[in-house]
Amino acid sequence: MSHFQVGLKPTEAKQLLPVEAYTSEEWFKREQEELFSKVWTFACK
């Protein structure tokens, strides 16, 4: 399921994310699981 438009120049870009990306609890949870839990690393000394 893709909600993104690929290959647009900055001058051609419009709203790339649907409204749900900003308002949906489901979208937020999926983003946390699929993006941030795999990308961010916590390191301490």
Tell me the mean pLDDT in the region 5-11. 67
Say what the alpha-carbon torsion angle 23, 11, 7, 1 is, to the nearest 10 degrees.
Answer: 20
Q: What percent of the chain has pLDDT over 90?
A: 18
For the segment 14-32, the average pLDDT, to the nearest whole number, is 87
Contact 21, 3 (CB under 8 A): yes
pTM reported for the whole predicted model:
0.48
